[in-house]
Amino acid sequence: MSAAAPLAAQQERVVRGLSFEGNHAIDDYTLETAIATSSSSVFASLWLLRWMGLGEKRYFNELEFRRDVVRLLLLYRQSGYMNAVVDTMVRREGGDVHVLFRIYEGEPVRLTKLKLVGLDSILGVAALKRTLPLREGEPFNRTLFQASADTIADRLRNLGYPYAELLRSYDVDATALKAEATLEALPGPRARIGSVVITGTEKVDTGTVRKMLSVHPNDIFRQDRLYQSQRDLYGMGVFRSVNVGLADTAPRPGDSSVTVLVRVAEGPRHRVRIGAGYGSLDCFRMQSGWTAYDFFGGARSLDLTGRVSKLGVGSPTDAGLRGNVCHFLHDDVTSDTINYSIGLTLRQPAFFSPRHTASLGVFAERRSEFKAYTRQAVGGNAAVILNARRNVPVTVGYGFSVGRTTADAAVYCSVFRVCDATDRELLARSRRYGAVTVSAVRDQVNSVLDPSAGSLITASLLHASRLVGSDTLYEFNRGQFEVSSYSRLGRRGVFAWRALAGTIVPARRIALAGQSVHFIPPDQRFYGGGPNSVRGYARNELGPSVYVTDSAEVQGADTIYRPDVSVRAAPIGGNSIVVVNAELRFATPLFPDRMRVALFVDAGQVWERGGDPSTVAGVRVTPGVGVRFTTPLGPVRLDAAYNGYPAEPGPLYFQDNKTNNLTLTGETYQPGLPAGFWRRVVVQFAVGQAF
């Protein structure tokens, strides 16, 4: 028997190729999923890669192969192609097999008439027909016929008929290639909700559960409200399982009311989260959180969060990592101190209505934006999400904080003409900042982490002024609009695009250093560039910049500044931004379920309206290519974009290291374009899609 096993193994043939020919109505992927025969993986199929010994080998089964012909015929007949013919060709080469299915689809049986019976007094039949999956004149697909029956049943159940059923019948003339079908509705009695029974609660008050429900006694029955109630109860975070349905499976004689049964199973009421990680612009970071669900009843939750970053480079944890593992931060002045944030947030779902949600929070933070600014503040915020469960929820919020925002001295000197150290200190003082925000989101994507279909539209408006508690320096209006769209291309391909635009309108001019300027705090200005913006630029490097040198030589009566010896760039940001991205994502032959390639083009610019000397002109376009790897946390991506533009020219300042004052040299510094193709390629690494 031991000698027979190797002989049997030698007789097994590996499927090196599987293809279809002549199919038009049904795509290759659908046909592949309908049969048992499948091709080996890429490493085991392509002769150039077989020597590596990698990949899964799939073997040819003669019996299942014959059954596959029947499976394909049944699939075609189910789809309306009664005269379809399936032929096969098997090419055997030693221990390898290449399988080809040749399909002649023929003409389909078409639906000539679709009758809807029993609906005239409830639904508009003509309008309903236009929304059904199966329509007159199309191939008579019995799967779509069943889907049409389910669609009508759902409509009836959402109109108060909880026990609605659909009877299906059809007549097919295979010779004439015609079919007639009938859907007869048995709506049953229209019902109201008589009572709502809740079971399974232990520590959670039943009144809290009722508050979260969208079904109430005396309401007309609607199936979608049962589903919504189930989702809302899950969202509380205190239940392991939730089921909301009817107590009876059939109507009670003479009773026009139904009983809704809510069954829950409680889970832990507290949750602790701890995490740590590394980021190129954060160095090492840690975060933690604690959440109490159903806090003092009422379905509300209390969330305490804390986060600290710049560990290893920022004081008091500076361990000299700027020169090695955190080398991205080696010249970032905003990373001299650790960043932190701590917040306490109370959330109240069902705020006056199950449709609205409210939150109230307090926080303390120190956060910095790479090479741009540092914000340190304490404050609070309140927000109400109106129609949180609708297609376009609207959030109205108010935030108030007391803190200070600091930026590179060259930014104040260039944008606001404040070059003296004493005057700069005036801008960096701790001040009140109050703002009212209104934002709306229309989210119709099919996945939060990796969307492949749908669209996402967001719009936000912010108003800060003395009327809402701000200091006189903080008076401006800020608006931003963004739209993203995703379309499938084939089975695994996706075409995605995103457009973003924003603007800031200062409320009034203020006097600074003896002149009138529009002041927008650095933390509210727009910045561009980075892995989620125009990827041909490093983070915040898109748009205007200023340059500072501390090297100068005195030659007679003249002072010669030496940016070639020592120079640093500081992003200014702007009061306007436009970014447009387009990306084609498709699976690779190598590990198609785990790895994808992206071809993209990014375009955009950040600029300062008002004729500032540092204002730039012209849109920057950077094409590139990237690789995405699928992980449980979402796609991990590596993008490389080509930037054929030199850095933006900007004013050159001289910094006196003794007095810390800046002097405008009157020169414009223009960094040179890196020599060679590869020096102009910017590599970005990030988790999650760019948009």
Q: Say whether both 203 and 128 belong to one domain.
A: no
Q: Give every CB contact of residue 146 below 8 A, 6+ residues apart in sequence.
A: 168
Q: Say whether both 144 and 174 belong to one domain.
A: yes
Model confidence at 9, in pLDDT bands (50, 70, 90)?
A: very low
Strand partners, 682: 641
* Residue 68 to residues 61, 103, 249, 356, 621, Cα–Cα distance (Å): 10, 13, 40, 53, 51
Q: Say whether both 31 and 80 belong to one domain.
A: yes
Q: pTM of the predicted model, to two decimals? A: 0.79
Model confidence at 570, in pLDDT bands (50, 70, 90)?
A: confident
* pLDDT score at 492: 79
Maximal CA-CA distance, the chain: 109
Mean pLDDT of the chain: 87
Both tokens assigned to 261? 């049964």
Q: Give every CB contact of residue 236 below 8 A, 6+ residues apart in sequence.
A: 212, 293, 294, 299, 301, 349
Q: Say whether both 70 and 134 belong to one domain.
A: no
Contact status, residue 543 vs residue 562, Cβ threshold 8 Å: no
Q: Say whether both 124 and 237 belong to one domain.
A: no
Residue 301 reports pLDDT greater than 70: yes
Domain ranges, residue 95: 12-104
> The domain that contains 95 carries what CATH number?
3.10.20.310
Contact status, residue 251 vs residue 224, Cβ threshold 8 Å: no
Model confidence at 54, in pLDDT bands (50, 70, 90)?
A: low
Residue 500 reports pLDDT greater than 60: yes
| Chain segment 521-536, per-residue pLDDT in tens | 889 999 999 999 999 9
Any domain includes 449: yes
Separation of alpha carbons 503 and 618, rounded Å: 17
What percent helix, strand, coil does the chain show, rounded to 5? 15, 45, 40
Identify the residue with better confidence: 134 or 387: 134
Q: Which of 248-257, 437-446, 657-666 has the lowest mean pLDDT?
A: 657-666
Task: Kindly state the average pLDDT of the residues 255-263.
Answer: 92
* pLDDT score at 611: 60
Both tokens assigned to 229? 């109630």
Strand partners, 486: 454, 496
Both tokens assigned to 175? 């010779």
Both tokens assigned to 651? 């004013």
**What residue type is 29 in one-letter code?**
Y
| Chain segment 572-625, per-residue pLDDT in tens | 888 899 999 999 998 887 677 788 899 999 999 999 887 654 567 789 999 999
Residue 6 reports pLDDT greater than 50: no
| Chain segment 184-221, per-residue pLDDT in tens | 999 999 999 999 999 999 889 998 899 889 899 999 99
The burial class, CB within 10 Å (0-12 / 13-18 / 19+), for 80 is buried
Q: Say whether both 679 and 542 belong to one domain.
A: yes
Q: Quick one: DSSP state of residue 70?
A: H
Residue 45 reports pLDDT greater than 60: no
Q: Say whether both 168 and 197 belong to one domain.
A: no
Task: Kindly state the average pLDDT of the residues 380-407.
Answer: 91
Any domain includes 119: yes
How many domains, the chain?
A: 4
Residue 42 reports pLDDT greater than 70: no
CA angle 125, 128, 132 (to 5 degrees): 135
Tell me the three state secondary structure of residue 418.
coil
* pLDDT score at 639: 94
* pLDDT score at 11: 58
Q: Percent of the chain having pLDDT more than 70? A: 92
Q: Which of 235-244, 342-351, 564-573 has the lowest mean pLDDT?
A: 564-573
Q: Give every CB contact of residue 330 below 8 A, 6+ residues apart in sequence.
A: 322, 323
Contact status, residue 318 vs residue 356, Cβ threshold 8 Å: no
* Residue 122 to residues 132, 154, 159, 238, Cα–Cα distance (Å): 16, 13, 9, 40
* pLDDT score at 4: 40
Residue 366 reports pLDDT greater than 90: yes
* pLDDT score at 132: 93
Q: Say whether both 138 and 236 belong to one domain.
A: no
Model confidence at 486, in pLDDT bands (50, 70, 90)?
A: very high
Q: Say whether both 133 and 63 belong to one domain.
A: no
Which of 266, 292, 307 finishes a domain?
266
Q: Are strands 96-104 and 14-21 parallel, antiparallel or unpaired?
A: parallel
Strand partners, 393: none
Q: Say whether both 219 and 364 belong to one domain.
A: no
The burial class, CB within 10 Å (0-12 / 13-18 / 19+), for 390 is exposed
Q: Which of 107-116, 539-548, 629-638 has the lowest mean pLDDT?
A: 629-638
Any domain includes 5: no
Residue written as token pair 């250093």:
513
Q: Say whether both 660 and 597 belong to one domain.
A: yes
Q: Say whether both 355 and 259 belong to one domain.
A: no
